[in-house]
Amino acid sequence: MSMINYASREINCKIVYYGPGLGGKTTNLEHVYAKVTPDTRGKLISLATETERTLFFDFLPVDLGTIRGFKTRFHLYTVPGQVYYNASRKLILKGVDGIVFVADSQLERMEANVEAMQNLYDNMAEYGYDLTSMPFILQYNKRDLPNAAPIRDLQASLNPGFEVSDPARQRVSPDPFRAGENLVEQAEDGAWVERVPYFEAVAVQGDGVFETLKAVSKLVLKSLA
């Protein structure tokens, strides 16, 4: 739920980084914090345990520029990935404008990824939010690790595609972030499906972090246009 403040001429949007525990959500925010100029970002707030595991959330506000005289301010949140923190995870989703799902590419984390994705669907549904019509990006993190699963396997498990039932939208639509690939296309069985854009990342080195952030912010602003 974006907020347009005409008094301070700001558009405020909320982006939530979701995903399994130790997948790199906080690392994404830390990299953004380290790399953007201090006058375009606020404080990085971390409500974490003594062992630096996210307890409630991390929060970072960043300004991404001005459109029509309005400052575009994005509030980036992470959720705690650990399964038993679902109550706090759900609270953070309130009023979300765009979602980044940070998946851990390691083969042995596949089950945790799928479980976190299911949890995201469940929590969104409880709020009555429709994930299929919301800015939503997948980030496959830790691509540098030797035990990283192939992208096609990750795509098959985590990004199989939503069914497109609206006939007006049943046409091939290219992925704006990935030349030669499509977001909406017809599956072999004739059904039209829509996948969400994905990015590969090595968040500890900053690879893919800004690409992901830019993509989700752009989709959020376009959803308001």
Partner 1 sequence: MAVGSASWSFTEDDFGAITQSLQRFLHDSNARCALLVDRTGQLIATVGEQPTFDPTAFATLTAADFSANDQLAKLIGETDFNSLFHQGEKESMYLADVARRVILVIIFDNRTTLGLVRLKLKSTIDELTRLFTQVFERGASGPSTPSILAGADDEIDKLFQ
Give yes or no for residue 105 binding partner 1 (CB under 8 A). Answer: no
Nearest to 101 by CA among 88, 119, 74, 86: 119
Q: Which of the ranges 17-25, 26-34, 108-116, 210-218 carries the binding residues for partner 1, by CB under 8 A? A: 210-218
The tokens for 115 are 């479980």
DSSP readout, 128-155? T--GGGS-EEEEEE-TTSTTBPPHHHHH
Give the start-end residues of each E strand in 79-177.
Answer: 98-104, 136-141, 162-163, 173-174
| CA separation for the pair 58, 123 (Å, rounded) | 19
Q: Which of the ranges 20-28, 59-67, 103-111, 144-152 carries the binding residues for partner 1, by CB under 8 A? A: 59-67
Q: Which of the ranges 30-38, 137-145, 185-193, 212-220 carries the binding residues for partner 1, by CB under 8 A? A: 212-220
* Least distance from partner 1 to the Cβ atom of residue 187, Å: 24
Phi-psi region of 202 (alpha: psi -120 to 50; beta: other; left: phi over 0): beta
Give yes or no for residue 86 binding partner 1 (CB under 8 A). Answer: no
Which residue in the set 34, 91, 145, 187 belongs to the binding site for partner 1 (CB under 8 A)? 91
Give yes or no for residue 6 binding partner 1 (CB under 8 A). Answer: yes
Expressed in angstroms, the distance from the first to the final Cα of the chain is 14
* Least distance from partner 1 to the Cβ atom of residue 45, Å: 5
Site residues (CB under 8 A) for partner 1? 1-7, 11-12, 14, 42-43, 45, 47, 56-57, 59, 61, 64-65, 67-68, 70, 72, 75, 87-88, 91-92, 94-97, 129-130, 133-135, 214, 217-218, 220-225
